[in-house]
């Protein structure tokens, strides 16, 4: 019997139609060899307002496990992925549970570290004071 193979990142298309990305190895110690998936995720490309975004989520949402086994007869095709950006996104997702979307081209979200955060009413009052806006009288 052969030992477990090397680990590599792979994109797998299952007979269910799902496409998953995971760090995998192939274990041939069973009667039928199995594919061992570590932290499998579903990755989808989303086009939003002319931007290409990547949405990533766990393959099985409610499981606390991070290793799964599937038989080869459940796989249509699989390919090794050496795409450094995709691997980086995957690893970032695993280390930061809050990250679910990657925004390319240096786009960032707004945070309180970037400056002052205010309500619309407070901001309006401050801007009115700053620019001395005079409200028109009602007739």
The string of pLDDT tens digits covering residues 17-61 is 999 999 999 888 767 789 999 999 998 888 888 888 888 899 998
Would 69 be classed as within a structural domain?
Answer: yes
The string of pLDDT tens digits covering residues 76-127 is 999 999 999 889 989 988 887 544 455 555 556 666 666 666 678 887 888 7
Would 59 be classed as within a structural domain?
Answer: yes
**CATH code, 78:** 2.30.30.100
Tell me the pTM.
0.62
Would 27 be classed as within a structural domain?
Answer: yes
Q: Which domain holds residue 61?
A: 8-107
What is the count of structural domains for the chain? Answer: 1
Distances (CA, A) of 7 to 22, 38, 45, 74, 122: 10, 10, 25, 20, 55
Would 93 be classed as within a structural domain?
Answer: yes
Would 2 be classed as within a structural domain?
Answer: no
């Amino acid at each position: 019997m052969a030992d477990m193979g090397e680990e590599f990142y792979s994109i797998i298309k299952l007979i269910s139609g799902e496409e998953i990305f995971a760090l995998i190895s192939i274990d041939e110690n069973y009667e039928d060899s199995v594919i061992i998936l570590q932290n499998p995720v579903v990755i989808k490309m989303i086009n939003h307002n002319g931007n290409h975004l990547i949405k990533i989520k766990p393959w099985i949402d409610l499981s606390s496990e991070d290793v799964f086994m599937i038989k080869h007869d459940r796989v249509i095709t699989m390919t090794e992925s050496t795409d450094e950006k995709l691997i980086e996104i995957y690893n970032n997702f695993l280390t930061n549970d809050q990250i679910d979307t990657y925004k390319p081209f240096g786009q960032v979200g707004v945070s309180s570290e970037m400056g002052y955060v205010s309500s619309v009413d407070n901001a309006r009052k401050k801007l009115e004071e700053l620019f001395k806006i005079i409200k028109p009288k009602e007739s």
